[in-house]
Amino acid sequence: MKPPKSPGDRRLVELDALRGLAALCVLLYHGWYSQPVQPLALAWLFQHTPLHVVTSGRQPVVFFFVLSGFVLTRGLLASPPPSWANYAAQRTVRLGLPVAGALAASVLLYALAWRGPLPDWPGGHFMVEAMWTEPPSGLGLLRQALLLGHDGQISLDPVLWSLGHEWRVSLLLPAVLLFRGRPLRLLALGVVAMLLAHALGARDNAMGLGVDLPATFLATLYFLLPFCAGGTLALAPAPALPAWVRVALGLDVLALACTSNDLAGVLASVLLILLARQPGPLLAWLRWRGPVWLGKVSFSLYLVHLPLLAAVVHLLGGTVSQTVAVALGMALSLPAAALLHRAVEQPAHRLAKRIAGWGHRRLVATG
C-alpha cells in the first residue's frame, strides 16, 4: 500500500527549475574564476549588477539551503509524517548515493586525466589549489563519502562542503513539525543559531567548512538560519500577492542579488520562492521544459561539474588555451550531469521511495 497523497506530495517543478538555475550559476562561477582572462566589461557586469549572482558562488548555495528547508518541510507536513529513522534513511540514500557516484566519477577521471600538478595561472585557484590536491585513498574516499571532511580534505569534489551541512540539518528537520502554527518561532531559532555561531567564531559571509572537524559543526550551526527560513515559509500560509507587490519584490530580489551578504541571500531566496509560486510570467517561464530539465539534473550538475572541469583542463593543458579547455569542460558538464542523474540519482530516488513505503506499511501494521 502506498502512503496517501497530500498537497505536500505534489512536486513543484517551478522550484526545481530555480534549483537548476542556481546550479547553473555555480557552474558559471567556477568557469568564470578559472578563466585566465576576464573581459573588463563582463567583470563590471558581474561585480556591479544583479548578474553578480552568476559569479558569487555563495548566493546560489544559500538559495539551495533555503529551498531545501522549504521543500523538506513541505514534504514533512504530508500526513502521516514518517518516523525519524525512516526519514533519516531516505535522506541519507537520496544524498549519499549521488555523492558516492560523483566521487567514483572523480576517482575515475583522476586516473584517466592526472598528469601531475597543473602550473598556476591567473584564475587557476579551483583547479590548482582545490581540485585533486592529493591522490585518492581509501580513507579519503570514505571520509568524503560520509561528508566528514573539513577544509582541504574534499579535493575529489570541493562542492561537498555544502552537502555536509545539508545532510546534517536535514536529519534534524523533522523537528520543524513542533513549530506548526508557530512559524516565526522557527525563524527565531535560526536567528539565534546564527548569532551563537557568530559568537563562537563563525565568519559572516565567508563560512564554509572550517579548519577541523569540530569547526564543521560550528559552520552547520551558522547555516541553520537559511534552512529555518525555508521551513518558516513552508509552515506559513502562502499569500496571494497583487501584481504591483510582485513587481516590487522582484526588484528587491534584483537589488539583493548585487550583494555577497549571507543574510541578503537568505532574504532574496525567500522572496524568490514566494514569487515563483505566484501566477504570472515567472511561473509560466519556470514551468517551461528548458528550466524544468535543468532542475531535474541540478543536483547531478552541482556534483559532477568540478571533477569534469578538472579532467578536461588536465587532459588538454598545454595543447589548447586554458580558456578553451575551461569552456569545453563547462559545456560537457551538462551531458555528464544527465548521465549521473540517470545512472545514480534516479535509482537513489526510487530506493528512497521504497524506504518511505516500508515505513508507511510498518506504520499501518502497528497502528
Q: Is the pLDDT of residue 4 over 50?
A: no
Percent of the chain at pLDDT > 90 equals 72
3-class secondary-structure state, position 342 = helix
What's the pLDDT tens digit per position in 228-277? Answer: 999 999 999 888 899 999 999 999 999 999 998 999 999 999 999 999 99
| Contacts for 336 with CB less than 8 Å, ≥ 6 apart | 105, 300, 304, 305, 308
Cα separation, 166 vs 158, in Å, equals: 14
User: Burial code of 72-98, b = ≥16 C-beta within 10 A, e = fewer?
Assistant: bbbbbbbeebbeeebbbbbbbbbbbbb
93 compared with 10, residue with greater pLDDT: 93
Q: What is the pLDDT of residues 281-337, one digit of tens each?
A: 999 999 999 999 999 999 999 999 999 999 999 999 778 888 899 999 999 999 999
Q: Give the type of residue at 335.
A: P
Q: Is 156 helix (H, G, I), strand (E, B) or coil?
A: coil
Most confident of 76-80, 114-118, 185-189, 199-203: 185-189
Average pLDDT, the chain: 90
